Amino acid sequence: MVLFDTHSHVYLREFDNDRADVMERTDKAGIARVIMPAVDSATHESMLLLEQQYPEICASMMGVHPCSVKDDYAKEIKIAEEYLSQRQFAAIGESGLDFYWDTTHKVQQYLAFEQQIEWALQYDLPIIIHSRGSTDECIDVIAKKQNGKLRGIFHCFTGSLEQASRISDLGFFVGIGGVVTFKNAGLDKVVAQLDLNDLLLETDAPYLAPIPYRGKRNEPEYLSYIAKKIADVKGVPLEEVAETTTANAKKLFGL
């Protein structure tokens, strides 16, 4: 069984003490690819170094996380743009909007998001969207920008069936992570009604570890718990979830 982790920050400092062991477990668990989202210039080099060390497994995105968008966000945009001009990346991201804790830089977040959508169109790459506390707003932006060529993932989806349907109608995938295993989250009931062809798997490691590891550091190896939960709620074999979501990921990323 082959799985595809479409969103994992395995280059962050949380893995500094045992990264080689984590990557070995990832390989043994049948995780064929780990797509790594960019955050900002503080971690770009760490991400690219890990990709260089594990080129058969890891692939990097490039972008600016909405939580890294401040008054001087243009500097981060310029740095990311320079990387994009130098080499190929798997996707743009993670980008989007985050209104969960703070809306001080709401205007700047919109500007940065729209710039990264333009990159996705310019370089013909998927865009991976962070939409914490802003799912409807992100959907509205994509709806306005969709010209038939935009594609990507609404990462770490925790929204409603209606929102998932809007995302699918826009030609985007719904990224499902560890939250689907949380008892009272309600995401399992939404996923039960979604088409497997619209879903992708992710860990968002080191965050949001699935049950039975909730509250601990997440890692790509735990992707199987997410796949198993989806299989259970949809009443289909685990192998079907693995096969379909992996095919979806290969199609989206061209890997």
pTM tops 0.85: yes
Domain boundaries, the chain: 3-253
Contacts of 99 (CB under 8 A, 6+ apart): 106, 132, 133, 134, 137
CATH: 3.40.50.880, 3.40.50.2300, 3.90.1150.10, 3.20.20.140. Which one for 3-253? 3.20.20.140
pLDDT at 255: 82
Contacts of 46 (CB under 8 A, 6+ apart): 11, 12
What's the rounded Cα separation, in Å, for the pair 240 and 145? 33
Instruction: For residue 172, give the nearest of 205, 192, 145 by alpha carbon.
Output: 145
pLDDT at 81: 98
The mean pLDDT values, 10 residues at a time, for the chain of 255 residues are 97 98 97 98 98 98 97 96 97 96 94 98 98 97 97 98 98 98 96 98 98 97 98 98 98 93
DSSP category for residue 199: E
Distance of CA 171 to the CA centre of its chain: 16
Q: Do residues 26 and 221 make contact, with C-beta atoms less than 8 angstroms apart? A: yes
252: tokens are: 């989206």
